[in-house]
Structure 1
Amino acid sequence: MKLEVTSHNTVSIVTAPGPRIDAAAAIQFKEAMRKATAEGPDRVVLDLSNVFFVDSSGLGAIVAAMKQMGAGRRLDLAGLTADVAKVFRLTRMDTVFVIHETAGASIRHASG
């Protein structure tokens, strides 16, 4: 899985290509996130605006990506589509992650 990474001062935006993060893609996603976040700012925003489906394996891979970043670093989420947002609400993962409406909003939040 190829993730797009862009840096904005103290924030890295990692954009998932979509359309699914499920059992078939979870291992590749987790490895791609490890590589994308190995270096760089302490704050990373995962832009999921291209992702329309996340199952329990995909959710687990996102949580694992947060944990593998280590202490002192933070993974926020942005751009959740309606179905993906519903998964985060139903599993109460919306209380674990800071969720921004868009990646741009997360950048404005970091600088303001």
Structure 2
Amino acid sequence: MTAPASPLTITVEQPRLDAMAAAPFRATLDPLLVDQPDRILLDLTPVGFIDSTGLGVLVSMLKRMGPGGRVAVVGAAPGVRRLFELTRLDSLFRLCDSEDEARAILA
């Protein structure tokens, strides 16, 4: 039996994931999602602000992964984490305190 492949790691490079950053970020995601990865480690460390448009891009990413897709989020700033919790998206995106924790969840 072979070990599962490592999860795809995606780092958001912008300090804001909002309406202005959504289209370029979606364009960055498109080629990464062609093969429908089943696990993504999403690093939001640089992101200090996210709005509903940014959340929409992330939900779209999860949908494109298919029915078994799982996403673990690391580096979410307190305000970003709070938005995931308020919108209950923390039930779809696992919020992790470290990359090691995220990798363990996705193993």
Same fold per TM (> 0.5)?
yes
| Root mean square deviation of aligned Cα | 2.0
Q: Is the 8 A contact 2:37 2:65 kept in 1?
A: no
Shift of 1:70: 1.7
Task: Please say if 1:51 is aligned against 2:47.
Answer: yes
Q: Secondary structure at the match of 1:26?
A: helix
Q: Is the 8 A contact 1:13 1:103 kept in 2?
A: no
Structure 1: which 5+ residue stretches go unaligned?
Answer: 1-7
Structure 2: which 5+ residue stretches go unaligned?
Answer: none
Tell me whether 95-104 or 42-51 shows the greater mean CA deviation. 95-104
Shift of 1:28: 1.7
TM (norm. structure 2) is: 0.82
Give the distance between the partners of 2:84 and 2:48, measured in 1 at CA. Answer: 13
Aligned residues between the structures: 104
Give the distance between the partners of 1:104 and 1:66, measured in 2 at CA. Answer: 21
Q: Is the 8 A contact 2:71 2:92 kept in 1?
A: no
Match of 1:33 in 2: 29
Q: 1:27 to 1:51 in 2, by over 3 A?
A: same
Identity percentage of aligned residues = 34
Show structure 1 runs of 4+ deviating over 4 A.
none
TM (norm. structure 1) is: 0.79
